[in-house]
Amino acid sequence: MAYTLYPNERRGTAFHGWLRARHSFSFAGWQDQTRMGVSALRVINEDQIAAHNGFGMHSHDNMEILTCVLSGHLTHKDSMGNVGHLSRGQWQLMSAGTGVTHSEMNDGDVPVHLLQIWLYPNVRNPAPNYQELTLDVQTQANQWHLIAAPETDGDHASAMTIRQDARILSTYLNQGQSLPLEGLKTTNYVHVVTGQIHIQDTTTKETRVLSAGDAINFDRATKSLITADQDSQLIWFDLP
């Protein structure tokens, strides 16, 4: 298996009182020149936002910004007039395009736990856009679900539209269950959100164990089988 491991213990950390963050790739005050992203994937931040706090209004342009809520409730507002209220299993995709101002706030009494994911777009300066998607944890386990894909993708109908030649998929995999992984694009990056899995190259039978916060990157030629050692959530980035 030709691969690169991204272990949890090498993620960056940040603490700002109201925010605890882990950075898979270089971000803000934490910089590691060996961790500048993979293909079009630039940021995976795991954030915990304290009650009645959050990211106030700020601006982005020319970035595809995905948010996945793991627990708690997040309120999104933006300069396009969108207001979103997201809880566990819900995703949002904000295509910043020519520029957008937004806030992501925890208006509740308990912390919000989320992933913030940035990808570079393959087109510059289109109009900004906002989308949402819900993945039901209980009824949709043990199968890959397409979260975002380009409009030209044949399976795009039920997914959000991303401005990049990339497919983002996710699954809740119950203990003992397995799923195949064979990418369509050049690069495959699998991030373990929760739980523990082992991933086996179905040709060489080589196996690696990954736990929450770990990730693995391998090329399209690798055909793999992922098995959950514990109940787990995974995100698979099929990247150019």
Q: What is the mean pLDDT of residues 136-164?
A: 87
11-20, 117-126, 180-189: lowest mean pLDDT where?
180-189
Per-residue model confidence (pLDDT) at position 29 = 94
pLDDT band (50, 70, 90) for residue 138: low
Q: What is the mean pLDDT of residues 57-62?
A: 98
Q: What is the mean pLDDT of residues 96-109?
A: 98
Q: Are 208 and 174 in contact (CB under 8 A)?
A: no
Alpha-carbon distance 102 to 80, whole Å?
9
Contacts of 139 (CB under 8 A, 6+ apart): none
Q: What is the pLDDT of residues 35-57, one digit of tens each?
A: 999 999 999 999 999 999 999 99
Per-residue model confidence (pLDDT) at position 186 = 86
Alpha-carbon distance 135 to 196, whole Å?
20
71-75, 120-124, 155-159: lowest mean pLDDT where?
155-159
Judged against a pLDDT cut of 80, whether residue 113 lies above it is answered with: yes
pLDDT band (50, 70, 90) for residue 136: confident
Give me the CATH number covering residue 156.
2.60.120.10
| CA-to-CA dists, residue 203 to 26, 149, 152, 166, 199, angstroms | 33, 28, 31, 25, 12
Judged against a pLDDT cut of 90, whether residue 11 lies above it is answered with: yes
Q: What is the mean pLDDT of residues 73-87?
A: 97
The whole-chain average pLDDT of the chain stands at 94
Judged against a pLDDT cut of 90, whether residue 189 lies above it is answered with: yes
Q: Give me the phi and psi of 157, to 5 degrees please.
A: -50, -40
pLDDT band (50, 70, 90) for residue 203: confident
**C-alpha torsion sign, points 24, 126, 185, 91:** positive
3-state helix, strand, coil in the chain (%, to 5): 0, 55, 40
Alpha-carbon distance 137 to 13, whole Å?
28
Per-residue model confidence (pLDDT) at position 1 = 55
Range of the domain at 50: 3-239
- Left if phi > 0, otherwise alpha if psi is -120 to 50, otherwise beta: which for 18? alpha
User: For the chain, how many structural domains are there in total?
Assistant: 1
